[in-house]
């Protein structure tokens, strides 16, 4: 699939949102990525993955850091 625009890579507007709705929004706005929820304070993998968005989620299921590609 060829894109004529740069897909979105950061979602600051999703801070505080429910993790499952944030995941749906991210994957709709950038179909080239897969969202991986991570528990709060869980370290991200050391390698950078341009097809992943790691979303830090608190114990209430809310996004606590700006989800970004990589």
- % of the chain beyond a pLDDT of 90: 64
Provide the residue ranges of all domains of the chain, joining segments of one domain with +. 13-69
pLDDT over 60 (residue 2): no
- State pLDDT tens for residues 8-61: 899 999 999 999 999 999 999 999 999 999 998 888 777 777 889 999 999 999
| CB-based burial, 18-51: b 16+ in 10 Å, e otherwise | ebeebbebbeeebeebebebbeeeeeeeeeeeee
Cα 55 off chain centre by: 5
Total number of residues shown for the chain: 70
pTM, two decimals, is: 0.82
Write down the CATH number for the domain with range 13-69. Answer: 3.30.10.10
pLDDT confidence of 64, banded at 50, 70, 90? very high
């Amino acid at each position: 699939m060829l894109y004529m625009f740069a897909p979105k890579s950061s979602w600051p507007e999703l801070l505080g949102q429910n993790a499952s709705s944030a995941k749906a929004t991210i994957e709709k706005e950038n179909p080239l990525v897969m969202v991986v929820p991570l528990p709060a304070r869980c370290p991200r993998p050391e390698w950078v993955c341009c097809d992943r968005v790691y979303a830090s989620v608190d114990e209430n299921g809310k996004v606590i850091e700006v989800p970004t590609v990589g």
